[in-house]
Amino acid sequence: MPIEARRTFRLALTVTIALVLAYGSGISVPYLAPLLALILTLKPAPPMPLGKLLGLAVALAVILGVGLLIAPLVEQYAPVGLSLVAFGLFVSNRLSLGGDKAAVGTLLAMSLTLISALGVFSLALAQTLVTMLVAAVVIAVISQWIVYPFFPETDVGPDAASSAEHSDGGVSENTSALRAVVVILPAYLFLLINPTGHTPVMMKSIVLAQSPSVIEARQAAVELLGATVLGGFLAALLWFGLKLSPRLDIFALLILCVMIGLSRKLYVANATRFTQQFWIDASVTMLILLGPAVADSAAGKDPYQAFLFRFGMFFLVAVYAWGSMVLLNRLGWLGRRKQEVAI
């Protein structure tokens, strides 16, 4: 089997199995597991061994504990707390640019934002989210263990690192990390208003902000806004399909089919005119939108109104990220090359 096909099926099956394990086990916020499975499996490489997983679980608990420690500062000494959050986001985004440490950077950003905001609202709820994130990481790695022997990585084909583009168009790591802070901080302030209701918006902001920089404003609009619209469309399509037959096996089958299509765009060279990051953002948007919609339906809430609200907020976040990129570009903060912005 060609290397691109193995990578395609490995990513799609890992996300699907993580979804089945998470929803089947009944953990809270189950969509975190397939989301983290996607993030951990994007870079084609063998899954971490058991010893490393145990070490990661301990390190993850420590990382997430940082959010619990910052929560009182955000509540009682807002300037100090927000400054620490901003500095931590800068560090986490630097880590996310390192390839092998991208998942660590994403988890650190989640800790600094989600955990600290929930800690201001309810310390018990924040501690519960810490447990859920650790469980989601464990489920994601177990899913990798199950799938990888059937679709192993080889030395044949393009470099594994090329599967998830990190081309920044000449932008320095410090500049990219600073741009991410500019994108995430307003979403964090918005999260503090309603930590339980605005969590998906915060997660979208984190993933969006840690995407590689794009110099051309027109290309940035396609990357940021187009991926958000596509992700929303796929989430709505899956939701209506699931509504016809609300069963876990049907849910898994629908996710598998869509993820195979998206994964193919990621790994097959010249399969699309869009960049790989476009398809990553679309996949993340789809999972973050679909998960809460399923939870709302199971809880007897109106999923349509909540879905439209979340999608509207996702789109506004993407517009803000694009606007920030254009502004920083005009100010000369993005890119070392002299390049005119085409709007």
| Band (217; pLDDT cuts 50, 70, 90) | low
| Band (10; pLDDT cuts 50, 70, 90) | very high
Residues 295-323: pLDDT tens digits? 877 766 777 787 888 888 888 888 887 77
So what's the pLDDT on residue 101? Answer: 67
Report percent pLDDT > 90 for the chain.
Answer: 18
CB atoms inside a 10 Å sphere around CB 78: 12
| Band (218; pLDDT cuts 50, 70, 90) | low
How does the average pLDDT of the chain come out, rounded? 80
Q: What is the 3-state secondary structure (H, E, C) of the chain?
A: CCHHHHHHHHHHHHHHHHHHHHHHHCCCCCCHHHHHHHHHHCCCCCCCCHHHHHHHHHHHHHHHHHHHHHHHHHHHCHHHHHHHHHHHHHHHHHHHCCCCCHHHHHHHHHHHHHHHHHHHHCHHHHHHHHHHHHHHHHHHHHHHHHHHHHCCCCCCCCCHHHHCCCCCCCCCHHHHHHHHHHHHHHHHHHHHHCCCCCHHHHHHHHHHHCCCCCCCHHHHHHHHHHHHHHHHHHHHHHHHHHHHCCCHHHHHHHHHHHHHHHHHHHHCCCCCCCCHHHHHHHHHHHHHHHHHHHHHHHCCCCHHHHHHHHHHHHHHHHHHHHHHHHHHHHCCCCCCCCCCCCC
Residue 338 pLDDT greater than 70, yes or no: no
| Band (11; pLDDT cuts 50, 70, 90) | very high
So what's the pLDDT on residue 340? Answer: 37
Instruction: Give the mean pLDDT of 312-339.
Output: 70
| Band (254; pLDDT cuts 50, 70, 90) | very high
- Answer for the pair 180, 89: CB distance below 8 angstroms, yes or no: yes
Instruction: Give the mean pLDDT of 221-226.
Output: 77
d(CA 170, CA 329): 12
Instruction: Give the mean pLDDT of 173-193.
Output: 81
Reference 242, options 294, 307, 304; nearest CA is 294
So what's the pLDDT on residue 286? Answer: 92
Q: Which residue has better confidence, 17 or 215? A: 17
Alpha-carbon distances of 118 from 49, 90, 335, 336, rounded to whole Å: 32, 21, 36, 39
The overall pTM is greater than 0.85: no
So what's the pLDDT on residue 256? Answer: 95
Instruction: Give the mean pLDDT of 113-132.
Output: 83
| Band (270; pLDDT cuts 50, 70, 90) | low
CB atoms inside a 10 Å sphere around CB 14: 28
Residue 334 pLDDT greater than 70, yes or no: no
Domain-by-domain residue ranges, the chain? Answer: 3-330
Instruction: Give the mean pLDDT of 177-199.
Output: 82
Residues 140-179: pLDDT tens digits? 999 999 999 999 887 544 444 444 444 454 456 677 778 7
- Range name among 81-90, 126-135, 202-211 with the lowest pLDDT average: 202-211
So what's the pLDDT on residue 211? Answer: 66
| Band (91; pLDDT cuts 50, 70, 90) | confident
So what's the pLDDT on residue 333? Answer: 54
Residues 52-76: pLDDT tens digits? 778 777 777 777 777 888 888 888 8
| Band (278; pLDDT cuts 50, 70, 90) | confident
- Answer for the pair 215, 343: CB distance below 8 angstroms, yes or no: no
- Range name among 42-46, 78-82, 244-248, 303-307 with the lowest pLDDT average: 303-307
So what's the pLDDT on residue 23? Answer: 92
